Amino acid sequence: MTEINRRLVLRARRDGLPHVGDFAVEHAPMPEPGPGQFVVRNLYASLDPALRQRLTLTDSYVPRIELGEVLTATTVGVVAASRDPAYPVGSHVVGHHGIADYWLTAAGPVTRTIDPSAASSLSHFLSVLGPTGLTAYFGITRVARPRAGETLLVTGAAGAVGSVAGQIARLSGCRVIGIAGGADKAARLTGEYGFDAGIDYRDKTLAGLTAAIRDAAPEGIDLLFENVGGIQLDAAIDCMNERGRIAVCGLISQYNATEPPPPLTNLFKLVARSIRMEGFIVRNYASEYAAAAATLARWVGEGKIHFRESIHDGLEAGPEAFLSLFTGWNQGKVMLRLEPSA
Q: Which residues bind ligand NAP (CB under 6 A)?
A: 48-50, 131-132, 135, 156, 158-162, 180-181, 185, 227-228, 249-250, 252-253, 280-282, 325-326, 328, 330
Residue with Cβ nearer ligand NAP (127 or 266): 127
Q: Among positive and negative, which fits the CA dihedral 172, 174, 180, 185? A: positive
Distance from chain centroid for Cα 244: 24
CB-CB neighbours of 125 under 10 Å: 29
- Residue at shortest CB range from ligand NAP: 159
Shortest spacing between CB 227 and ligand NAP, in angstroms: 4
Residue with Cβ nearer ligand NAP (26 or 192): 192
Shortest spacing between CB 26 and ligand NAP, in angstroms: 26
Residue with Cβ nearer ligand NAP (41 or 96): 96
Residue with Cβ nearer ligand NAP (42 or 227): 227
Shortest spacing between CB 76 and ligand NAP, in angstroms: 16
Nearest-10 Cα torsion for 278, 252, 149, 267: 60
Reduced to 3 states (helix: H, G, I; strand: E, B; else coil), residue 197 is strand
Shortest spacing between CB 278 and ligand NAP, in angstroms: 11
Distance from chain centroid for Cα 273: 30
Which has the closest alpha carbon to 109: 295, 250, 285, 292? 285
| CA 75/CA 48 separation, integer angstroms | 11
Shortest spacing between CB 23 and ligand NAP, in angstroms: 18
Shortest spacing between CB 156 and ligand NAP, in angstroms: 4
H or E stretch covering 106: strand 102-106
Give yes or no for a contact between 69 and 9, defined as CB atoms under 8 angstroms apart.
yes
Q: For 263, phi and psi rounded to 5 degrees?
A: -65, 150
Residue with Cβ nearer ligand NAP (104 or 126): 126
Strands 276-279 and 240-248, by their bridges, are: parallel
Residue with Cβ nearer ligand NAP (62 or 342): 62
Residue with Cβ nearer ligand NAP (175 or 333): 333
How many angstroms separate the first and last alpha carbons of the chain? Answer: 16
| CA 92/CA 87 separation, integer angstroms | 8
Shortest spacing between CB 127 and ligand NAP, in angstroms: 9
Residue with Cβ nearer ligand NAP (95 or 131): 131
Shortest spacing between CB 34 and ligand NAP, in angstroms: 31
Quick one: 116 exposed, middle or buried, by C-beta within 10 A (0-12, 13-18, 19+)? middle
| CA 333/CA 140 separation, integer angstroms | 18
Which has the closest alpha carbon to 164: 7, 292, 311? 292
